[in-house]
Copies of this chain bind each other. A is one copy, B any other.
Amino acid sequence: MKIHAEAFRSFATQVLQRLDVPRQQAADTAAPLVWASLSGIDTHGVRNLKSYYVDTVVDGQIKAGAQFNIEFETPMSARADGDNGLGLAAGGWGMRLAIEKAVNTGIGLVSVRNSNHLGALGYFAELPVEHDMIGICMSGKLYARGNFRGMAPVFSVQPMFGTNPLAVAIPCGEEPNYMLDMATAVVPVNRVIKAKELGQPIPLGWCLDANGLPTTDPAAAKVYLPLGSTRETGAHKGFGLAMLVEVFTALLSGGFADTPEGYDQNKIAHFFGAIRIDLFRDPADFKAAMDAMMRALRSAPPAPGHERVILPGDIEHETAQQRRQSGIPLTEQEVSELRWLSDHYDVPLELMS
């Protein structure tokens, strides 16, 4: 079964509104899910609507009618309270604020505390691109007293960070935009969970087990290795990037805060940045040079056994072009969850076979 992107957008928006999520926040939550599923990032799309967002609003973990609140700002920056609302809605709000500031001053940087899961960060990073801006998005979580899974500091096996992702989008002219959307761990948690569901092993270099030993068993994965995998091949760099994400999200926003039990971070924090290209040069000239760089890299001869060079964003761009026509493919589990939501909230669901 499949679903058309616009049918899913409308469906998800309506379901969320049934939970008393305000219209704008419901649309802002649906949009990155549509974007992820269109782009082939299936771990962050349709799959998460019920379990990540609907269920958590229903059970009260996430506030349906959150009031995003600017706690401090300058013409080019802000820190805000996400009011424990939907992370995806805080994301749309936060990046629009960053873009507005960049339109006015050249740069907009917004750090948001007290929020929730931000999904596919690439969606947010891409929003400034149509304004001839570079877009930056990060999401960070620090467990000051450890967690049952996550990234551990170098030479420790106690998980302390989430997989703290980071995305950057940069406008091109005729070429697909540059789009880097990465966990600072080797892989995001959902990649390992998906392998577990499929009964597949995971490669060495992704995770360690509870004893700190390398594992290929997704069920045993506890420590998510930082990009670089081992100290010898640069894991300290991946961990350093995870800390950087933490600073821009939770430290600049005040999300990592002093409590009676000491400093800790209770919810997820985000960062949204927009930088106008014309702070440096004419955007048309810049985009022509971007196109030339992309083409130069693409013209490198492929390695034996490979057909072509793949640049960041290529696969997602091509998948989106195809799925916009043919629809978003759904797993049985996804179909079953969408049907349940349709029945339960009385929202019509239009699937394609």
Chain A interface residues toward B at CB < 8 A: 72, 74, 76-77, 79, 105-107, 109, 111, 134, 142, 144-146, 152-158, 160, 168, 170, 178, 180, 182, 186-187, 203, 205-206, 212, 227-230, 232-234, 236-241, 243-244, 246-247, 251-254, 256-258, 262-263, 275, 277, 279-281, 285-286, 288-290, 292-293, 296-298, 300-304, 306-312
Contacts and interface: CB of A to CB of B under 8 A. Distances in A.
Which of A230, A244, A279, A298 counts the most chain B CB atoms within 10 A? Answer: A279
A310 B226 CA distance: 14
Contacts of A187: 234
List of 3 A-B pairs having minimum Cβ-Cβ separation, nearest first: A263-B292, A180-B240, A77-B279
A303 B243 contact: no
A247 B153 contact: no
Contact of A281 (B79, B105, B134, B298): B79
**Interface SS majority for chain A:** mixed
A236 B310 contact: yes
A280 B256 CA distance: 14
A290 B157 contact: no
B310 A158 contact: no
Given A279-B77, A280-B253, A243 B153 contact: no
Contact of A251 (B106, B203, B289): B289
Nearest to A280: B252
Contact of A158 (B203, B236, B300): B300
